[in-house]
A and B are shown apart, each in its own frame.
Chain A
Amino acid sequence: MTIANQELNTIAAQEYRYGFITDIEADVAPRGLNEDIVRWISAKKNEPEFMLEWRLKAFRHWEKLQAEQQTPTWANVHYPPINYQDIIYYSAPKAKEKLESLDEVDPELLRTYEKLGIPLEEQKRLAGVAVDAIFDSVSIATTFREELAKHGIVFCSFSEALQKHPDLIQKHLGSVVPYSDNFYAALNAAVFSDGSFCYIPKGVRCPLELTTYFRINTAETGQFERTLIIAEEGSYVSYLEGCSAPMRDENQLHAAVVELIAHKDAEIKYSTIQNWYPGDQDGKGGIYNFVTKRGKCAGSNSKISWTQVETGSAITWKYPSVILQGDNSIGEFYSVALTKAKQQADTGTKMVHIGKNTRSKIIAKGIAAAEGSNTYRGLVRIGSRADNARNFTQCDSLLIGDRCGAHTTPYVEVLNNTAHLEHEAFTSRVDEDMLFYCNQRGLSMEDAQSLIINGFCKEVFQKLPFEFAVEATRLLELNLEGTVG
């Protein structure tokens, strides 16, 4: 890309200063990553000056890490080195070709939807079939948005928020996950294309579950998403990202960043269902999901709760964490991670206790089947001023088959003697006595296994919003089909 072209693009982008990116546009950044690309993305999105500055700082930091070969290697995952110059870092969303009816959809995909119990109209939307206006996501979004606006809630794409609420973003961006946090956070900060922004004003209890089904921003935000959720004093929000339906994606590397900020007496509940393409039986072509998620309980009595069901991706590398800064704040982490075929997951959480009387709870359930490798990695740190901090951790693993691996590496750091910590972990396969009991009551082997596995995950599923708990159960059954019995 020559400089002249860039100038052209900069000018071209300015035309849309107060508008939205339209569907006709299909710009693609040149392959590779350098400072010009970062400027190009920023200009393309017509970002305020501070945003560009921040992106550039992040890029320079990333370049330094890259030069020092500081890609994270500590996780228990294995993959060939990534060529960061062989990636297209920005591609404006393209309009997909709409299909006429569900008959044109791959029957295999329909079978999956059926099993997951996804409503017919939603199936159409997921498969890219043109749907009735009433069910069109945009129209739902509009009514939905009016409802939210009544309460003063801002819920929009990151790009839109940058135009409409730059002050909020400038104040909070990077305050929980600074660009210098880690290699992938730096990369994301430099090149992130879009994401979600959510702001709940003081004292407001968000009347709806904010889910991706009603997501306002474009469906394909690309591989570098950035989410920022701010809950002001005394507010409450429940946010669900992802989808239980299998998602295929051209991008192999996903490096998203999620930042949550809970002020005094606020509560954020963040749930994730991740079922991205895990690759074929040999693990080829799957998604690398390298995500940095962190929440900050900034004010006293605040609460952040992470719930995740991770069944997809070839490699998962994510540690949704909570910084318990405010006194009496609470952090929770509930996770089910399933690895099968050649999937690898290295996931867990960090609970950093800073304030007094802070409490955290970790329930992590790992299931490894076939040749899957499942690692729980977690940190509980009690700072020297965190008097009367309390932590309970339970991380269990279930092994299915003799070729899988289940690993647990929790870290516990205690700098305060008034803290009370308990940690338990157990690894085993499905108990034979339980199976026998079920068989004896007339359940088939497969049903018995499935029943026991669902029981194993129940504590986590209960934390999901109701309709997703049902889907998550089916999702697990579907994923384990053929690996058990």
Chain B
Amino acid sequence: MTTIAAPEAIPYLRSFESLEQNGYGQHPDWLQALRRDAMDAFTALGFPTARRGNEEWKYTDVGPIARASFRIPTQSCHSESIEESLADRVDSLTDPNWHRLVFIDGCFTPHLSSLPNIATVSNLADSLDSHTPLIRQHLARHTPYASHAFTALNTAFLHQGSFLHLPPETSLDRPLHLIYLTTAAETHTLSQPRTLAVIGRGSKATIVETYAGPDDTPYLSNAISELIIKENASLDYYRLQQHGDEGYHVGTTQAVLGDGAHFSSTTLDLGGALVRNNLNALLDAPESSCTLNGLYLAGETQKIDNQVIIDHAKPHTNSRELYKGILGGRARAAFHGSITVRKNAQKVDAKQEDKNLLLSDKAQVNVKPAFWIYADDVKCGHGAASGQIDENSLFYLRSRGIDHEQAHRLLVRGFANEIIETVGCPSVKSLINNLVKTKLTEL
């Protein structure tokens, strides 16, 4: 290889080489080639730096991630007894009536999972043989890694993960919960969750992803989800990030939409020391549409960065985007929403909004909405607002006999509710409601 390796990439390269020698060797050649290619990309790229001119990482310095050397988990999973002891923790994260796939420190845990029988829902590693053409067609094809370090790192160690294939005209009766849990078994664990979902023509599904981990120990969760939504299919996607106070999280979700498909996403960020979410929606066929909502609640020294990129590649596509943040303590949030309307993608209707409520005088927010419009028959609008609780609203409530504390709480709660109210599925809504309620008491 002629490229110069970035110094911080060397430990990961060593782990990769050792895994290649024992363990990865039995995997199909195409997967090995893919991983090798991604590793080369990561070795050359290193972690993104906050240096001037790096627009993509302008407001988030991943220096702490680059400096800490995270440990790649080995092939061996936890013993059953350890897994057993985590059953309660897993139960607390989910609804007992949902289907679920549970991964602990990157390892699939079958006996904590419960799978539906109408669709293929399985550990990605176990489906490599049975679904080779489909997986090869989509895996790592929609999330380019050549210039994205975190995507390359995830792809280089691609092994286990969630795989969902819904055949045409079938629908999941209940939400499918993908739980990616990091444990405190060791410090500086790197877990790299991976999700591949192919929703067949005319099918419907609800997917909930939960990312969680322990408090008081640093770890990195570097997740990628690839969601392929075929013609007239519809996917309700929820992403609940509940990491521990020293957890780092970088997540990339890529949705690719077919003719008349709909993608609805709700991102909830509660935990983590440093969190970066990349959500990309490619409206690749006419009449496709997406609704992307997000709520980020951060206190103390939390840093939460959301990047949402919508690509209107075809005419007659719609998008709606609403992100809201409530920030306390010394929390810092960033929002970057980019909407591209490509040439000839006429009759596009896009709306984007980001609103922030700053509860403390040390909280910070950076907002960067962007439009790139190359077609003329379009309607695109964006709005951004930032402020503190409206004094008039507060006064109104107090004049009705509600004390300051409660009035404040009501208004903050109301601010968050705008997002929660958009959640269609009642069981998901009640789960989110409880999570938000608990978090708001901490801010």
Contacts and interface: CB of A to CB of B under 8 A. Distances in A.
A417 B378 contact: no
Interface in B363-397: 363-388
Contacts of A409: 368-371
A408 B380 CA distance: 11
A422 B390 CA distance: 14
Contacts of B367: 410-414, 423
Instruction: Identify which of A399, A412, A419, A421 gathers the most chain B CB atoms within 10 Å of its CB.
Output: A412
A410 B366 CA distance: 11
Contact of A424 (B360, B362, B383): B383
Size bracket of the B interface? 35 or more
B380 A402 contact: no
Interface in B245-265: none
A427 B356 contact: no
A416 interface: yes
Contacts of B343: 402-403
Given A417-B358, A417-B359, A411 B366 contact: yes
B277 interface: no
Interface in A152-167: none
Nearest to B388: A417
Nearest to B369: A410
A327 B374 CA distance: 42
A405 interface: yes
A428 B380 contact: yes
A406 to B, nearest CB: 5
A135 B16 CA distance: 81
B344 interface: yes
A20 interface: no
A366 B250 CA distance: 36
A96 to B, nearest CB: 42
A135 to B, nearest CB: 45
**Residue among A73, A403, A427 having the largest count of chain B Cβ atoms under 10 Å:** A427
Contact of A421 (B346, B359, B384): B384
B369 A425 contact: yes
Given A417-B363, A421-B384, A412 B377 contact: no
Given A74-B55, A418-B361, A425 B368 contact: no
A406 B360 contact: no
A425 B386 contact: no
Contact of B378 (A411, A419, A425, A429): A429
B53 interface: yes
A23 to B, nearest CB: 46
A415 interface: yes
Contacts of B346: 402
Contact of A399 (B369, B376, B384, B388): B376
A325 interface: no
A414 B381 contact: no
Contact of A426 (B360, B370, B380): B380
B371 A429 contact: no
Given A428-B378, A428-B379, A414 B356 contact: yes
Given A407-B373, A411-B367, A421 B380 contact: no
B384 A405 contact: no
A402 B366 contact: no
Given A402-B376, A428-B378, A429-B376, A423 B371 contact: no
Contacts of A129: none
A401 interface: yes
Contacts of B376: 399-402, 404, 429
Given A405-B372, A405-B373, A429-B376, A415 B383 contact: no
Nearest to A421: B386
Contacts of B381: 424-427
B383 A421 contact: no
A388 B371 CA distance: 29
B384 A423 contact: yes
Contact of A414 (B365, B370, B374): B365
Contact of A419 (B359, B370, B373, B386): B386
Interface string A417-446: 111111111111100000000000000000
A411 B384 CA distance: 10
A411 B371 contact: no
Interface in B128-142: none
Given A407-B373, A412-B366, A427 B380 contact: yes
Contacts of B388: 417-418, 420
A300 interface: no
Nearest to A390: B387
Nearest to A387: B361
A167 B53 CA distance: 37
B373 A406 contact: yes
Contacts of A420: 386-388
A8 to B, nearest CB: 44
A65 B358 CA distance: 39
A384 B361 CA distance: 8
A472 B358 CA distance: 42
Nearest to B377: A429
A73 to B, nearest CB: 8
Contacts of B383: 422-425
Nearest to B368: A411
A453 to B, nearest CB: 14
B386 A408 contact: no
A193 interface: no
B382 A414 contact: no
> Most A CB atoms within 10 A — which of B373, B382, B383, B388?
B373
B387 A421 contact: yes
Contact of B385 (A399, A421, A428): A421
A302 interface: no
A347 interface: no
B382 A425 contact: yes
B382 A416 contact: no
A212 to B, nearest CB: 34
A22 to B, nearest CB: 46
A397 interface: yes
Nearest to A426: B381
A77 B368 CA distance: 19
A423 B356 contact: no
A409 B366 CA distance: 13
Contacts of B373: 397, 399, 405-407, 427
B378 A427 contact: yes
Interface of B: 53, 55, 343-344, 346, 356, 358-388
17 contacts: A399-B375, A402-B343, A405-B374, A407-B372, A408-B370, A409-B369, A410-B368, A412-B386, A413-B364, A414-B366, A414-B367, A417-B361, A418-B361, A422-B385, A423-B384, A423-B385, A425-B371
Ordered nearest first, which 10 A-B pairs have the shortest CB separation? A417-B358, A399-B376, A412-B367, A423-B384, A409-B370, A408-B371, A427-B380, A420-B387, A426-B381, A421-B386
Given A399-B375, A406-B371, A426-B379, 18 more contacts: A73-B53, A399-B378, A400-B376, A404-B374, A409-B369, A410-B370, A414-B358, A414-B386, A417-B363, A418-B361, A418-B388, A419-B386, A419-B387, A421-B387, A423-B367, A425-B371, A427-B371, A428-B378
